[in-house]
Amino acid sequence: MKISVILSRFPYPLEKGDKLRIYHQIRLLQKEHQVQIIAVTESKPEPEHIQELEKISSEIHFYPLQKSNQIWQLFQAFFKGLPLQLGYFFQPQLFKDLPKLLKEFGTETAYFQLPRTAPYARDLKIRKVIDYQDTFSQGMYRQYKKSNLLLKPLLWMEYKRMQRYEAKILDRFDASTIISEQDRELIQHPKRDQIKIVRNGVDFEFFHPNPRIEKSFDLVFVGNMSYPPNILAAEFLVNEILPKLKSEPKVLIAGANPHKRVEKLSSHQVVISGWLDDIREAYWKSKIFIAPMKIGTGLQNKLLEAMSIGLPCITTPLANNALQAPKSSISIGESSDELAQAIEKLLQNPNQIKHQGELGRKFVHQEFSWEAAIKPLNEILQG
């Protein structure tokens, strides 16, 4: 079968959750099908990144966004009552070329990742599938609740527009997918139960324990550090949780593009590493993984990776809602006091660190293989 995948980002390197999800989906789909990648890009991809995708696909096309055109598209989206991100990621030349690209490839199903790619599906006469991934509108709402007064009107507008758009596009596609039951329940459409659950997985062979590496840090938090939910979580960890601890643990905050607000958290106690060529080093060098998420939606890949490596994990109920890890394999806390207590409990008990890490690793191995995650998607794409 020939499948075309339409993306709002070039899916490599794997520094964002949407890239990680689609990369592994394409990697496994290509084993049974021919997959064409068609992506909008914010900058021209590096040759080595193109080469990595050539290993897992049959054909690649990318369309760089142009700043001058983005301003015009944002302007149009605003006055049409559409989410602004639709305007930001809309590439007119791709919209014009897409029918020809699909026809020349012999596409049987077009797979669109994220609602922001839905405008490209208009008028296409082939089978179309949309992956919501998670509920973007809810993410905007949580950002709105935590934002300053200047940003609140803009975020509220984007939240309401995205909420309407997520419901509107459901009827435009032959099938749709989302990452969790919790996210599906937030789609404001009477037929939302028709949206199929396609979870994420974790690469167990890649994310494995490495006892030979010395533990240099007590706590580690990993993620794209320009992403608002991760910025807020990093600030929550350093400014509100750490001061509650009796001890002074060494903390590593690792991930691409650290925002200025994250860089300001650096101290004798807190290391901000920025991008790491191999993110496993951050996990391997640390005793405990913490993801104190206050906002955000969907399944946290960082929790899957940390648990696969065998780190005991501490997180909030918000992050565990999609993961659904049992209490024996993860520590949960809502407030800074509860999260601080969870940290102290583990740091004071090395045997508990080992035990919880083993249970967490066993849990993700049973529930979150990419091979298992791809099966329902494969069936949906084939109709």
Closest CA to 299 of 180, 187, 143: 180
d(CA 122, CA 103): 15
CATH of domain 217-367: 3.40.50.2000
Q: Which amino acid is at 267?
A: S
Residue with tokens 């979580």: 233
Antiparallel, parallel or unpaired: β 270-274 and 251-254: parallel
Write down the pLDDT at residue 11: 96
Write down the pLDDT at residue 123: 87
d(CA 234, CA 318): 16
Write down the pLDDT at residue 231: 95
Residue 247, both tokens: 């001890």
- Measured in residues, the chain has a length of 383
Residue 266, both tokens: 């650096």
Q: Are 365 and 308 in contact (CB under 8 A)?
A: yes
Q: Are 303 and 289 in contact (CB under 8 A)?
A: yes
d(CA 377, CA 26): 11
Task: Answer whether 2-201+370-382 and 217-367 agree in fold.
Answer: yes
Q: Are 167 and 188 in contact (CB under 8 A)?
A: yes
Pick the CATH number of 2-201+370-382 from 1.10.760.10, 3.40.50.2000, 3.20.20.70, 3.30.300.130: 3.40.50.2000
Write down the pLDDT at residue 146: 86
Write down the pLDDT at residue 112: 98
Domain ranges of the chain: 2-201+370-382, 217-367
SS3 state of residue 131 = strand
- Strands (E) in the chain, as ranges, are 2-7, 34-41, 59-64, 109-113, 127-131, 175-178, 196-197, 217-222, 251-254, 270-274, 286-291, 313-315, 331-332
d(CA 232, CA 144): 13
Write down the pLDDT at residue 188: 95
Antiparallel, parallel or unpaired: β 286-291 and 251-254: unpaired
Per-position pLDDT tens, the chain of length 383: 999 999 999 999 998 889 999 999 999 999 999 999 999 999 999 999 999 999 999 999 999 999 889 999 999 999 999 999 999 999 999 999 999 999 999 999 999 999 999 999 998 999 999 999 999 999 899 889 888 999 999 999 999 999 999 999 999 999 999 999 989 999 999 999 999 999 999 999 999 999 999 999 999 999 999 999 999 999 999 999 999 999 999 999 999 999 999 999 999 999 999 999 999 999 999 999 999 999 876 788 999 999 999 999 999 998 998 899 999 999 999 999 999 999 999 999 999 999 999 999 999 999 999 999 999 999 999 98
